[in-house]
């Protein structure tokens, strides 16, 4: 039972202290995100209501969120939302939480597509839809097809496209990578963040990732390259003559993935782009001229 009145500011201080004691980074920010979600208001509005007295029900909802965070659950799954580029996306435990590194992948694809009038784009294994929806929103002439083997993930992506007002420029197909496309299709760009964690490394991931994020979207096989092998050559058959393939890669994988594209004989102009931490993060290449 709550035997006192709690001010919003007091609860923020309490939660921030708990997070600091567990050495969680950005404890104050995490507390603010959780409290704004518990109250159903914007984080910005917290600063206008520091003296607000919360009801016992509001306090209990917030403390429940704090307990879940202290048990390792990511903030984004607790609040049900994740920021990505210009978007606020819904996330569930059926999809990976979008990462800042993936923004580099989207940026590279957008630069490539910028001068194309109505480019067709494919995002296979779309998860939350962060990649495809960002492209559809930031380059409105684009027409984006997304696939995912998990129908629950595809529903999340569809819902996100609707909330981001991109639904009319997108197509959603359930299935494994390229397999569900069925009819002959050609795209100006294929943009993909496939599973790339080595199976043996899954157990050693941070508990927030290991215990809460979907292993289906993480497990890249014995050497982490299983999906790149499945993508490299087949993707060339789906690209227009001057189309581009853009792949996010894990740390230390850029050379191996670049090698797979080279060995396929299907690509030219292969490049590796680094993220803001100078880690090679994106491998891209154009469909080789003269291919049938």
pLDDT tens-place string over residues 248-265: 999 999 999 999 999 999
Reported as a single tens digit per residue, the pLDDT across 200-237 is 999 999 999 999 999 999 999 999 999 999 999 999 99
Percent of the chain residues topping a pLDDT of 90:
79
59 plus 97 within the same structural domain: no
What's the mean pLDDT in 183-191?
89
- 186 and 126 part of one domain: yes
Does residue 222 share a domain with residue 178? yes
Q: What's the domain count of the chain?
A: 2
Report the chain's mean pLDDT, rounded to a whole number: 93
Does 131 lie in the same domain as 20? no
181 is a domain residue: yes
Query: What are the residues whose beta carbons fall under 8 Å from the beta carbon of 135, sequence distance 6 or more?
Result: 106, 109, 110, 113, 121, 123, 142, 144, 191
Based on the fold, state whether residues 237 and 273 are members of the same structural domain. Answer: yes
pLDDT given at position 117:
87
Q: Which residues contact 101 (CB under 8 A, 6 or more apart)?
A: 248, 275, 279, 281
289 pLDDT band (50/70/90 cuts)?
confident
* Host domain of residue 246: 93-287
One domain for residues 168 and 277: yes
pLDDT tens digits, residue range 135-165? Answer: 999 999 999 999 999 999 999 999 999 999 9
125, 152 in Cβ contact below 8 A? no
Kindly state whether residues 104 and 20 are assigned to the same domain. Answer: no
Q: Are residues 106 and 65 located together in one domain of the fold?
A: no
Q: Once rounded to an integer, what is the mean pLDDT over residues 102-115?
A: 95
Q: How confident is the model at residue 292 (pLDDT cuts 50, 70, 90)?
A: low
Same domain, 161 and 18: no
pLDDT-derived band at 118 (thresholds 50, 70, 90) equals very high
Would the pLDDT of 85 be above 80?
yes
Two tokens, residue 73: 């659950």
Instruction: Tell me how far the alpha carbon of residue 190 is from its chain's centroid.
Output: 16
Closest CA to 247 of 190, 198, 180, 199: 190
147 located within any domain: yes
Residue 64 has pLDDT above 90, yes or no: yes
Give yes or no: residues 158 and 213 share one domain.
yes
CATH number for the domain spanning 57: value is 1.10.8
57 plus 98 within the same structural domain? no
Average pLDDT of the segment spanning 58-74: 94
> Is residue 79 assigned to a domain?
no
Residue 236 has which token pair? 């060339």
User: Which pLDDT belongs to residue 53?
Assistant: 86
Of residues 56 and 111, the one with the higher pLDDT is 111
pLDDT at 4: 59
Asked if residue 25 is part of any domain, the answer here is yes
222 lies in a domain?
yes
Is the pLDDT reported for residue 69 higher than 90? yes
What whole-number distance in Å separates Cα of residue 153 and Cα of residue 91? Answer: 9
H/E segment holding residue 94 = none
Q: Determine, yes or no, domain membership for 1.
A: no
Sorting pLDDT into bands at 50, 70 and 90, what band is 282?
very high
Provide the pLDDT for residue 255: 97
Q: How far is CA 165 from the centre of its chain?
A: 18
Same domain, 246 and 103: yes
Q: Is residue 84 part of a domain?
A: no
Which pLDDT belongs to residue 45? Answer: 83
Residues 6+ apart with CB under 8 A from 89: 81, 82, 83, 98, 128, 129, 130, 133, 160, 164
Q: What is the band of 2 on the pLDDT scale with cuts at 50, 70, 90?
A: very low
The pLDDT, as a whole number, for residue 1 is 39
Q: Which residues contact 74 (CB under 8 A, 6 or more apart)?
A: 97, 208, 212, 213
Question: Is residue 145 in some structural domain?
Answer: yes
Read off the CATH number of the domain in which 168 is found: 3.40.50.150
């Amino acid at each position: 039972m709550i035997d006192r009145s709690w001010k919003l500011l007091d609860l923020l201080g309490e939660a921030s202290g708990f997070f600091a004691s567990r050495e969680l980074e950005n404890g104050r920010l995490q507390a603010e995100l959780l409290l704004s979600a518990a109250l159903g208001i914007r984080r910005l509005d917290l600063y206008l209501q520091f003296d607000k007295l919360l009801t016992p029900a509001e306090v209990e909802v917030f403390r429940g969120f704090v307990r879940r965070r202290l048990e390792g659950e990511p903030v984004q799954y607790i609040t049900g939302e994740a920021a990505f580029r210009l978007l606020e996306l819904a996330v569930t435990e059926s999809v990976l939480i979008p990462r800042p590194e993936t923004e580099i992948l989207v940026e590279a694809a957008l630069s490539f597509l910028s001068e194309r009038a109505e480019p067709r784009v494919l995002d296979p294994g779309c998860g939350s839809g962060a990649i495809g929806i960002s492209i559809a929103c930031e380059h409105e002439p684009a027409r984006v097809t997304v696939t995912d083997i998990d129908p629950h993930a595809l529903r999340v992506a569809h819902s996100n496209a609707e909330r981001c007002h991109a639904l009319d420029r997108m197509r959603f197909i359930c299935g494994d990578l390229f397999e569900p496309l069925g009819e002959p299709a050609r795209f100006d760009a294929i943009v993909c963040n496939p599973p790339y964690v080595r199976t043996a490394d899954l157990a050693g991931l941070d508990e927030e990732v290991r215990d809460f994020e979907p292993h289906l979207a993480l497990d890249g096989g014995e050497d982490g390259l299983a999906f790149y092998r499945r993508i490299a050559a087949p993707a060339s058959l789906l690209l227009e003559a001057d189309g581009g393939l853009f792949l996010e890669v894990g740390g230390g994988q850029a050379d191996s993935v670049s090698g797979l594209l080279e060995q396929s004989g299907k690509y030219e102009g292969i490049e590796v782009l680094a993220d803001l931490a100078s880690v090679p993060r994106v491998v891209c290449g154009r469909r080789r001229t003269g291919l049938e």
